């Protein structure tokens, strides 16, 4: 058994135990918040009931009965009326009751393909009645044709459609559908390798790409198609390893959910693949990481796991609707990654779906801190709600250079006149004009232009700073590097950094220039105005940032 398989069994065991312990609802299901969790948890429980290699402390006979009962109730909720506009679909949220809940197009996108995997792996172990219900449900999925859509935007939805075409085309010996899936697979591979993925760091949707194509790869019998699926999975894991740091996803994100930021908790696929952090009990996205896996190459694993030498990752990313890379349809992603921290983000602000772009942060490996593992600030925008540290506005500009960054916030009338920040748990010294902390193995200096309030919480600090004109300057340095500068504790670090204040200059036109000299004696300068037609000037050591050096993601 490989290390990867051992970690899969660990995941299987943990989720099966949770499913066995979880009491049933009156409906016979485990959960009413999402039908997919019922399928996933029941799958894990059934697997543990049948496979002796999976550690399981419960009664395996009772586990099988419970799992089959849940799966039965899940299958019964499929719309099997061929005349219905939601034919082949399931409800997503099961309120007010599972029977009354409206059908939704989302569950079948991923769950449908995973059902084929589960059925083919365990059909001989299922009771006859459940086996027949599974076969019928899969036939209705196939006949629903939900996946018969062209590849146009190359997003996570189309990734799942492509995988479904391959899986159901093979299952039902539909040569035309299989060929359609092959063409979509090839165009997807060509697209992402030539101009990149527009869903940069899009969590949890990146994992839907991985799961969909891994499921297809696991099931595929045709050697040529399987090889092409492997090429795409190699690309996906190369992307993941590029932005990987001890379970953290570093760099900017086009979309995030609360379980992705400010702490990485959607980490099961990372754990199975890399295994260099402790698997927590809280698993918000169980899905199928314990069942399906494509082992990344040794080179990809080295990229993810061996961070001894700092690297700058500079990439061009196509905008969501872009058909080609050019100066108008491209974004620029920057991240500086070391063994103990990563810092960076996206140069351009973009209105992504649900306004979920996460612009910049400092990321730390999961096992080095207790609680959140990202540090960042933002100005609240559309969709922001108290307690949810997402949904940023457009009123910010950034400058990145290795272990330091500047973020400027010029807030117009009619907008919330404050910025918010999140700090990891650590040893923090608070001064009127900044915060100096040791989090894990990293010293962090955080300068805030205006006065601020810091609220201490169990797993983080939340900072609020008022003012229409504001900025944040951050510089990070690990303990080993700090020792070369005769910095051996947090107080010495604070004493040094208090002497290195940013310089703020406000012109009569309302333009703000922030100048900061780093510990390496390199000068950064960011100039930005209140209005969008003002030119943004970004200088490092007197030179403008050169975006022509950025390569395709």
Name 473's bridge partners.
406, 447
Phi, psi at 338, each rounded to 5°: -120, 180
Is 169 found in the same domain as 130?
no
Is 101 found in the same domain as 20?
yes
Name 248's bridge partners.
245
Is 211 found in the same domain as 173?
yes
Could you give the percent of the chain with pLDDT greater than 70? 97
Per mean pLDDT, which range of 200-204, 466-470, 549-553 is the poorest? 549-553
Is 187 found in the same domain as 131?
no
| 104 close to 42: Cβ distance less than 8 angstroms | no
| d(C-alpha 130, C-alpha 341), whole Å | 49
Is 375 found in the same domain as 272?
no
Output the CA–CA distances (angstroms, integers) from residue 553 to 159, 316, 334, 427, in the order listed: 18, 6, 11, 36
Is 521 found in the same domain as 404?
yes
Is 231 found in the same domain as 208?
yes
| pLDDT for the residue 489 | 97
Q: Per the domain annotation, does 354 fall within a domain?
A: no
Is 141 found in the same domain as 159?
no
| pLDDT for the residue 150 | 94
- Write down which residue in 95, 128, 146 finishes a domain: 146
Phi, psi at 526, each rounded to 5°: -125, 125
Is the pLDDT confidence value at 321 over 90?
no
Q: Per the domain annotation, does 320 fall within a domain?
A: no
| pLDDT for the residue 507 | 77
Q: In Å, how far from its chain's centre is CA 18?
A: 24
Angle made by CA atoms 275, 277, 282, in degrees to the nearest 5: 105
Q: Per the domain annotation, does 345 fall within a domain?
A: no
| pLDDT for the residue 322 | 56
* DSSP states of 354-385: GG--B-EEEE--GGGSSS--EEEEE-B-TT-B
Is the pLDDT confidence value at 529 over 80?
no
Contacts (Cβ under 8 Å, ≥6 apart) of 6: none
Is 262 found in the same domain as 169?
yes
- Write down which residue in 91, 117, 146 finishes a domain: 146
| 441 close to 340: Cβ distance less than 8 angstroms | yes
* DSSP states of 94-115: --S-TTTSPEESHHHHHHHHHH
Token pair in block for residue 420? 């918010």
Is 426 found in the same domain as 532?
yes
| d(C-alpha 89, C-alpha 440), whole Å | 46
Q: Per the domain annotation, does 316 fall within a domain?
A: no
Is the pLDDT confidence value at 116 over 60?
yes
| 205 close to 259: Cβ distance less than 8 angstroms | no
- DSSP H helices, 376-519, are 479-484, 490-497
Is 157 found in the same domain as 46?
no
Is the pLDDT confidence value at 147 over 60?
yes
Phi, psi at 166, each rounded to 5°: -65, -45
Q: Per the domain annotation, does 341 fall within a domain?
A: no
- Write down which residue in 146, 179, 201 finishes a domain: 146
What pLDDT, in 10s, does the model give residues 447-498?
Answer: 999 999 999 999 999 999 999 999 999 999 999 999 999 999 999 999 999 9
* DSSP states of 278-311: PPPS--S--TTTTT---PPPHHHHHHHH---S-E
Residue 327's pLDDT band, with cuts at 50, 70 and 90, is: low
Please tell me which residue, 530 or 523, carries the higher pLDDT value. Answer: 523
Q: Per the domain annotation, does 163 fall within a domain?
A: yes
Token pair in block for residue 455? 């609220």
HSE, side-chain direction, 13 A CA sphere, residue 542: 1
- In 311-426, which ranges are E strands? 311-318, 330-337, 342-346, 360-363, 374-378, 397-401, 404-410, 418-423
Interval 437-442 mean pLDDT: 98
Range of the domain at 415: 369-552
Is 286 found in the same domain as 200?
yes
Q: Per the domain annotation, does 277 fall within a domain?
A: yes
Total number of domains constituting the chain: 3
What average pLDDT does the structure give for the chain?
95
439: closest CA among 193, 263, 200?
A: 263
Local structure of 178: helix, strand or coil:
helix
Q: Per the domain annotation, does 304 fall within a domain?
A: yes
Phi, psi at 44, each rounded to 5°: -65, -40
What pLDDT, in 10s, does the model give residues 33-91?
Answer: 999 999 999 999 999 999 999 999 999 999 999 999 999 999 999 999 999 999 999 99
| 306 close to 244: Cβ distance less than 8 angstroms | no
Q: Examine residue 262 and say whether the peptide bond preceding it is cis (omega within 30 degrees of 0).
A: yes
Taken as a whole, the chain contains a residue count of 553
């Amino acid at each position: 058994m490989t290390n990867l398989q051992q970690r899969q069994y660990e995941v299987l065991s943990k989720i099966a135990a949770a499913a066995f312990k979880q009491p049933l609802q009156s409906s016979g299901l485990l959960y009413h918040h999402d039908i997919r969790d019922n399928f996933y948890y029941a799958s894990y429980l059934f697997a543990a009931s049948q496979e002796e290699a999976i550690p399981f402390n419960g009664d395996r006979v009772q586990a099988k009965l419970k799992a089959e009962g849940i799966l039965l109730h899940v299958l019964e909720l499929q719309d099997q009326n061929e005349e219905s506009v939601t034919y082949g679909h399931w409800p997503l949220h099961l309120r007010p009751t599972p029977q009354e809940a409206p059908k939704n197009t989302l569950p079948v996108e991923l769950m449908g393909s995973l059902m084929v995997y589960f059925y083919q792996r365990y059909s001989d172990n299922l009771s006859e009645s459940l086996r027949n219900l599974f076969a019928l449900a899969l036939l209705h999925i196939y006949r629903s044709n939900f996946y018969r859509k062209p590849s146009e935007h190359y997003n996570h939805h189309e990734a799942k459609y492509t995988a479904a075409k391959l899986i159901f085309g093979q299952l039902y010996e539909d040569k035309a559908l299989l060929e359609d899936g092959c063409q979509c697979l090839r165009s997807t591979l060509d697209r992402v390798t030539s101009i990149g993925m527009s869903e940069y760091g899009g969590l949890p949707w990146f994992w839907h790409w991985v799961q969909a194509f891994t499921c297809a790869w696991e099931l595929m019998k045709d050697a040529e198609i399987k090889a092409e699926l492997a090429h795409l999975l190699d690309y996906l894991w190369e992307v993941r390893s590029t932005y990987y740091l001890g379970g953290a996803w570093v760099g900017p994100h086009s979309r995030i959910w609360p379980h992705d930021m400010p702490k990485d908790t959607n980490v099961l696929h990372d754990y199975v693949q890399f295994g260099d952090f402790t698997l927590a009990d809280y698993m918000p996205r169980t899905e199928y990481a314990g069942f399906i896996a494509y082992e990344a190459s040794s080179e990809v694993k080295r990229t993810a796991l061996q961070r001894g030498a700092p690297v700058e990752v500079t990439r061009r990313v196509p905008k969501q609707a872009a058909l080609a890379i050019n100066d108008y349809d491209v974004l620029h992603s920057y991240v500086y990654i070391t063994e103990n921290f990563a810092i960076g983000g996206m140069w351009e602000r973009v209105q992504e779906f649900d306004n979920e772009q996460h612009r910049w942060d400092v990321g730390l490996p999961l096992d080095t801190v207790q609680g959140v593992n990202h540090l960042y600030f933002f100005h609240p925008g559309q969709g922001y709600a108290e307690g949810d540290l997402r949904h940023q506005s457009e009123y910010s500009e950034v400058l990145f250079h290795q272990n330091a960054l500047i973020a400027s916030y010029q807030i117009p009338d009619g907008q919330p006149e404050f910025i918010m920040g999140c700090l990891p748990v650590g040893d923090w010294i608070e001064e009127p004009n900044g915060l100096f902390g040791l989090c894990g193995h990293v010293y962090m200096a955080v300068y805030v232009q205006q006065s601020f309030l810091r609220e201490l919480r169990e797993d983080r600090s939340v900072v609020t700073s008022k003012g229409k004109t504001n900025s944040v300057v951050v510089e990070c340095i690990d303990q080993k590097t700090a020792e070369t500068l005769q910095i051996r504790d947090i107080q010495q670090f604070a004493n040094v950094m208090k002497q290195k204040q940013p310089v703020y200059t406000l012109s009569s036109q309302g333009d703000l220039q922030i100048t900061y000299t780093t510990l390496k004696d390199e000068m950064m300068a960011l100039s930005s105005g209140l209005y969008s037609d003002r030119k943004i000037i970004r200088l490092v050591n007197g030179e403008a940032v050169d975006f022509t050096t950025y390569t395709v993601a």
